[in-house]
Structure 1
Amino acid sequence: MDLEKQPHPPQAPARQPQAPAIRASDADRDRIADILREALAEGRLTAEEHSERIDSVYRAKTLGELEPLVEDLPAPGAGPQRDPAPAAFASADPNLPVTAESLVAVFSSSTRKGRWRIGGRTKAFSLFGNIEIDLTEALFEQRLTVIDATSIFGNVEVTVPENISLRGNGTGIFGNFEVETLESENPEAPVVVVNGYSVFGNIEAKPKRGKLVTDLHKHLRKYLG
């Protein structure tokens, strides 16, 4: 008598090798931050939700960590069109200079202070030098401002007004990275994020007591009647 042929159990599919995680660039983080900023302006995110996600953006190391932060949000420009509202903090004088994109101090010092318009991203590099970035009188034309600081046997100091939000993410190797976190009560206030990497050096960011960003639109309305 012929033996019945027993069916062979199905073989498990071969496990595909997992693709390596792709490291996120500054441009990738800026793209995600732009989507979050637009979502906040459209009311899709609360100020608290926006704050939490922005913190995650600048802590993310890979693209896989960034994409979940905006998977429930539309792409920029996909929402209903509307007239842009005036920024809560903006320059009253278009002739004031915009900050340089980078500050470098090699066995020297570099200072940026006074009345000036700061751009969305500023890079600071100190090698056996000292860099001072004073934003207490700066004019913010965007809500999010990022400062990327690197200090090697050097010093980078950032001071901000008391009524903005200040956040940081960095590392000190035989050195110091210290950001005095600050959260503004005004959801429209500028946000300054300091990213830093210090080797035998110092990176420090803190508010300057008594210094406040002024709502320039209010003063313009009063001046123009």
Structure 2
Amino acid sequence: MTDDALPDLRASDADRERVAEVLRDALAEGRLDMAEFEERLDATYRARTYGELAPITRDLPVAGVTPPLPAVSLRKEPQAAGNWAGRIVGGEGTSTWAVAVMSGFQRRGRWTVPRRFGCFAFWGGGELDLREADFAAEEVVINCVAIMGGVNIVVPPGVEVVVRGLAVMGGFDDGETGVPGDPGAPRVVVTGFAFWGGVGIERKLTREERRQAKLERRQAREEERLERRQAREVERRARRELHGDFRHDRRRHEE
């Protein structure tokens, strides 16, 4: 039995509540604005038959139907080729090598990654942070040798990473290999050798980008809470008006 098959069949309170729930979900998802929600919710609580309820949610997803979810990527959107082109500067790198022997090294912030960069860690460790770096070429090669030490490479979202290292009683992290890069983004090839040591690669946003993303998530939650609060208030008002109409109709019938 469908709503269209028996449009004159009287709707129950449970039927109206199901429609109201669909409207609340549509408001929270941004499918309806507040004015449309109020108009449709008012029509829902005034509806007497299935024929009056059916058009209210005809253009909205119904219970049991889940629209396909968009693909989620850690890559920043948008990160157009033109933006990346501004970070592929050519020329020479800020430095071409780094060494840590029972010590450490670090390259971070604004620096230029050369076409080939070599690093060596022995009983020590180093970090190469490429999140704010420029690149001397569309493809750069970072050769890492870690003996009883470690090297950590941090890349920004959108950069393609290829790992070609060899490890003996150690490790070369290749978890980021195969993740496609943005159009026009540089390609980072990591090579080298690890013995009783390791080379790690992680993809992270900058501190400012993480702060901005956190603020956006907080703002979205606040907006959603406000919309739900407004929706509940509209619903309470509609219920009061509906009950008032029922009492008015009953008095007229008794007279």
More strand by share: 1
What whole-Å deviation, never above 9, does each CA across 1:50-100 have from its counterpart, x for those lacking one? xxxxxxxxxxxxxxxxxxxxxxxxxxxxxxxxxxxx994235999xx9321
**Segment drifting more, 164-173 vs 201-210:** 201-210
Structure 1 residue 162 corresponds to structure 2 residue 169? no
Q: Which residue identity is paired with 1:122? A: F
Distance 2:207 2:133 in 1: 11
Percent identity (aligned): 30
Given the superposition, is the C-alpha separation of residues 107 and 144 from structure 1 closer, same or farther in structure 2, using an over 3 Å criterion?
same
The answer for the alignment partner of 1:194 in structure 2 is: 190
The RMSD of aligned alpha carbons is: 3.0
Structure 1 residue 131 corresponds to structure 2 residue 120? no
CA drift of 1:137 comes to 0.5
What whole-Å deviation, never above 9, does each CA across 1:127-146 have from its counterpart, x for those lacking one? 00101000000012311010
Structure 1 residue corresponding to 2:169, chosen from 171, 174, 179: 174
Structure 1 residue 113 corresponds to structure 2 residue 108? yes
Q: Which residue identity is paired with 1:189? A: A
Distance 2:208 2:192 in 1: 24
The answer for the alignment partner of 2:200 in structure 1 is: 204
Distance 2:142 2:112 in 1: 14
What whole-Å deviation, never above 9, does each CA across 1:8-31 have from its counterpart, x for those lacking one? xxxxxxxxxxxxxxxxxxxxxxxx
CA drift of 1:118 comes to 1.2
Which one has the largest radius of gyration? 2
The answer for the alignment partner of 1:103 in structure 2 is: 98
In the alignment of these two chains, the number of paired residues is 127
What whole-Å deviation, never above 9, does each CA across 1:167-187 have from its counterpart, x for those lacking one? 101111111111222533533
What whole-Å deviation, never above 9, does each CA across 1:145-191 have from its counterpart, x for those lacking one? 10000000001000100111011011111111112225335332100
Contact 1:161 1:211 in 2 (8 A): no
Distance 2:208 2:191 in 1: 23
Distance 1:89 1:173 in 2: 38
Structure 1 residue 140 corresponds to structure 2 residue 135? yes
TM-score by length of 1: 0.50
Alignment of 1:8-157 (within 5 A): 88-91=84-87, 98-157=93-152
More helix by share: 2
| Unaligned residue ranges in structure 2 (runs of 5+) | 1-81, 210-255
Given the superposition, is the C-alpha separation of residues 183 and 89 from structure 1 closer, same or farther in structure 2, using an over 3 Å criterion?
farther
CA drift of 1:205 comes to 1.3
Contact 1:136 1:161 in 2 (8 A): yes
Contact 2:140 2:188 in 1 (8 A): yes
CA drift of 1:105 comes to 0.3
Contact 1:89 1:139 in 2 (8 A): no
Q: Which residue identity is paired with 1:191? A: R
The answer for the alignment partner of 2:39 in structure 1 is: none
Contact 2:88 2:136 in 1 (8 A): no
The answer for the alignment partner of 1:61 in structure 2 is: none
Distance 2:138 2:153 in 1: 17
Q: Which residue identity is paired with 1:187? A: P
Given the superposition, is the C-alpha separation of residues 150 and 185 from structure 1 closer, same or farther in structure 2, using an over 3 Å criterion?
closer
